[in-house]
Structure 1
Amino acid sequence: MSDSSSKPAGYDIDLGNECSRNAYGWAKKTFANRQGKPGEPAQDLDGGFSNEIRFGQERLGISSDGIGTKIEVAERVGKFDTLGYDLIAMVADDLIAGGFVPTNLSNIIDVHTLDYEVIDELMRGLHDAANFSHLAVTGGEIAELGNRIGGWPGARMNFNWCSTAVGALHPSLQRPISGATVRPGQVVVSLKSPSFRSNGFSLARRTLQNLFGDNWHTAPYDGLDATPHGSAGHTWGEVLLMPSLIYAPAVARLLDSGLSLHGVAHITGGGIADNFKRVLKNGVGAELDALFEPLPAMQRLTELAGIAPADAYLYWNMGNGMLLVTEESDAEEVVNQLQADGYEAKVAGRITTEPGIVLKVGAGELTYEA
């Protein structure tokens, strides 16, 4: 039995992975219901970031996710118009990790009691993020659930927000990107994340609660990028609320250009190690010795809470939101195109013959088993 009390965030990543595998195992038992029929699920994307469903020759991807306890940060700060970027990033970037270009999204907002202005802010932000991502919001539901929904007591509206998105397999691909063609010697490119995205908030909130008490969101932020010297924000609440950068449009344009992508890992819960190993198949590993540095806020939280670097790289993206595996001959062009699109990107390492992931970072060498 796992002991979550010994975990920095108060929950057990390994237990979460076990539950996810169990849930997916039950889901797979339903695949036979659509075998040979429209909506037939793929059988070869186990462990991927999304799944494939087939309608004749049309191959679609489907992904579901939410934005977790980042919602409480918005409730505390009283700002809701950026959460749409987080909601779309979680599903759109899972889709593009498989080579599926996001096309449509449906969402569900479960609320305690309704507040018209908060709903308007949420949907305005979703509209802006959808326009950035070139997808249409074609379904939705708002459900008033009363005491079934909780949250910060001082909020204008307590709610939960989840979505499901679909996308079409990029026309340049014969099959989804799964990591099946990842080989030693290929190059890993990292896309920088300017925020926590929508993951690791249980650990961040617990740390700040212990340090600053119930009103931690108003505590002054003192990281190296604190305003006026930087751009992160004045308070810890503002820093944690910074929206997710959506990578799907840029990765789709790489595929438009015919550049090689053998694996794409969306760095969410579980950090770099848990997510990148999902595309390291055929017994290969990776050495990442030039990742982007952890965001100052992540570094500051690590120091304040005494979190071991190995744990920090499991709970947060540590400044790296997506990892791409490409041929060495394409790496420079991949980086240049991503930068031309306004993203920060660089070569971060290589695929190795030895299994496992080695991170060579400022805190030292961190090793994670395959």
Structure 2
Amino acid sequence: MSASPENPAGYSIEEGNAASRNAYNWSKKTFQNRKGKPGEPAQDLDGGFSNEIRFGAERLGISSDGIGTKIEVAERLNKYDTLGYDLIAMTADDLIAAGFVPTNLSNIIDVNHLNYDVVDQMMRGLHDAANFSQIAITGGEIAELGNRIGGWPGAKMNFNWCSTAIGVLHPSLAQPLSGKTAQAGHVVVALRSPSFRSNGYSLARKTLHKAFGDNWHEADYDGLDAGEYPTWGDAMLAPSLIYAPGVAALLDAGLPLHGVAHITGGGLADNFQRVLKNGLGAVLDNLFEPLPAMRRLCEIGDITPETAYLYWNMGTGMLLVTEEASAAAVVASLQASGYDAQVAGYLTAESGVTLRVGSGELRYA
């Protein structure tokens, strides 16, 4: 079946992509300001979520992102000590997807009014996530913006949280990973995601509100893994797994990577197509199973597979392109680093991404 769902989440992925391309086009017009000087940006990494800046022989990567509306789940549960994993995952994993090992992070918290205890929980979680990722938090700011910041009315503090991370190009790489060296026949390895990460929450919250009302976060969770999460709020707050250390270990071991896709907003196909250059396509016929919470949301919200695979990661948080001869070693290394990994498919000479999943075959041009 062709994947062209309507827009049940209340926002347009296509319009968002177009706006991002336009914003980046304006940004590129400033690149000449640093041409031949420290901080010169790369000119050939269009389509990714991080970019390269050069300081002499040093080649650094930079990436910015935020947590989005997952913050509302934390506000509803009054639990803030896992959001740091989401914040770092969104930038660190964009960096490692281009071959940059994350090193430093700066963050900004915009609040309606300041609550010391909430900020303490947030920063404790960010500290834990930074230690997991071997990142130093080297900058930040808290800005009180009054009614310019909104959120769940019952929260102790409404806020938005964004960060910028930098990293250094792995010494084994002559250039950032972009997919340009990938070839038909190369193998795709998938990394399992144990959570929604920090994407797709508009559709999830809309579905839960329709099913359970204003206090959906208190509703009993009834997915197949119900013993792990007492409420829907708990299931939706599960933190993002940070993949950067495992991918860095692959590069440390000298294993070949030709492209990496971090599966965020836009789902599997939209994100993977960003690293499919030279007219290549892919068949992904052995992906991880969708998470129980995702399957349950599809049932209670009558959400089609086309829509679910467009807005959610469906249990796969990262895709890596490697050579067939190295695929087993890549999987073994990732598993040794504590990640669930498996061969998920292969690249084709024909463009387009085909997902062969339990609900059928989905094709994305």
* TM over 0.5, shorter chain: yes
Among candidates 327, 334, 340, match of residue 330 of structure 2 = 334
Deviates more, 1:89-98 or 1:296-305: 296-305
1:60 and 2:70 correspond: no
Letter in 2 for 1:209: H
Between the aligned partners of 1:19 and 1:363, the Cα distance in structure 2 is 32
Partner of 2:103: 103
Deviation at 1:239, TM superposition (A): 0.3
What per-residue deviation string (whole Å, max 9, x for no partner) do you get for residues 201-248 of structure 1? 000001101111100000111111111xxx2x0111000000000000
Are 1:248 and 2:258 an aligned pair? no
Kindly report which structure 2 residues correspond to 1:262-273, keeping only aligned pairs within 5 A, or say none. Answer: 262-273=258-269
Separation in 2, partners of 1:308, 1:34: 47
Report the counterpart of residue 74 of structure 2 in structure 1: 74
1:139 aligns to what?
A: 139
- Does 1:359 find its partner at 2:345? no
Partners of 1:208 and 1:6 in 2: how far apart?
19
Give the C-alpha shift of residue 69 in structure 1. Answer: 0.2
Report Cα offsets for 1:78-108 as digits up to 9, x if no partner.
Answer: 1000000000000000000000000000000
CA distance in structure 1 between the aligned counterparts of 2:230 and 2:236, rounded to whole angstroms:
11
User: Matches of 1:168 and 1:94 in 2, distance apart?
Assistant: 13
Structure 2 SS opposite 1:109: strand
**3-state SS in 1 of match to 2:180:** coil
Amino acid at match of 2:264: T
Give the whole-Å Cα distance in 2 for the aligned partners of 1:225 and 1:37: 54
CA distance in 2, matches of 1:43, 1:308: 39
Output the amino acid matched with 1:244.
Answer: S
Which whole-Å CA distance do the structure 2 matches of 1:299 and 1:24 have between them?
35
8 Å contact from structure 1 (residues 71, 160) kept in 2 = yes
**2:123: which partner in 1?**
123
Residue in 2 that maps onto 1:286: 282
Could you tell me which residue of structure 1 aligns to residue 255 of structure 2?
Answer: 259
Which residue, 291, 314, 320 being the options, matches 1:318?
314
**Does structure 2 conserve the Cα–Cα contact (< 8 Å) formed by 1:113 and 1:145?**
yes
Aligned to 1:30: 30
Partner of 1:11: 11
C-alpha separation in 1, matches of 2:137 and 2:145? 23
* Deviation at residue 323 of structure 1 after TM alignment: 0.2
Matched position secondary structure for 1:139: strand
Q: Distance in 1 between matches of 2:299 and 2:349?
A: 34
- Which secondary structure does the structure 2 equivalent of 1:202 belong to? helix
Q: TM-score, normalised by structure 1?
A: 0.97
CA drift at 1:6: 5.2
1:112 aligns with 2:112: yes
Distance 2:286 2:117 in 1: 44
For residue 169 of structure 2, what is the aligned residue in structure 1? 169
Superposed counterparts of 1:76-91, under 5 Å: 76-91=76-91
SS in 1 for 2:138: strand
Q: Which amino acid aligns with 2:7?
A: K
CA distance in 1, matches of 2:235, 2:363: 29
CA contact (8 A) 2:6 2:307 kept: no
Which residue does 1:200 correspond to in 2?
A: 200
**Structure 1 counterpart of 2:221:** 221
Q: 1 CA distance for matches of 2:328 and 2:166? A: 31
Query: What is the Cα deviation at residue 362 of structure 1?
Result: 0.3
CA distance in 1, matches of 2:32, 2:141: 29
Identify the residue that residue 270 of structure 2 maps to in structure 1: 274
- Measure how far apart 1:49 and its partner are: 2.4
State the Cα distance separating 1:52 from its structure 2 match: 0.3
Are the counterparts in 2 of residues 49 and 266 from structure 1 also a CA contact under 8 Å? no
Kindly state the Cα deviation for residue 302 of structure 1 after the two structures are TM-superposed.
1.1
> Which whole-Å CA distance do the structure 2 matches of 1:172 and 1:250 have between them?
15
**Any runs of at least 4 consecutive aligned residues in structure 1 with deviations exceeding 2 A, and if so which?**
none
Alignment-mate amino acid for residue 282 of structure 1: N
3-state SS of 1:189 partner: strand
The size of the alignment, in residue pairs, is 361
How many Å separate the matches in 2 of 1:6 and 1:100?
A: 36
Give the Cα separation in 1 of the matches to 2:226 and 2:267: 24
Structure 2: tracts of 5 or more residues without a match? none
Partners of 1:11 and 1:207 lie apart in 2 by 14
Quote the Cα distance in structure 2 between the aligned partners of 1:309 and 1:28: 37
Cα deviations across residues 338-362 of structure 1 (Å, max 9, x unaligned)? 1111100000000011100000000
SS of the residue aligned with 1:37? coil
Q: What is the identity, as a one-letter code, of the residue corresponding to 2:233?
A: G
- Looking at structure 2, the residues matched to 49 and 324 of structure 1 have their Cα atoms a distance apart, in angstroms, of 16
In the alignment, is the contact (CA less than 8 A) between 1:61 and 1:95 conserved in 2? yes
Question: Identity over the aligned pairs, expressed in percent?
Answer: 74
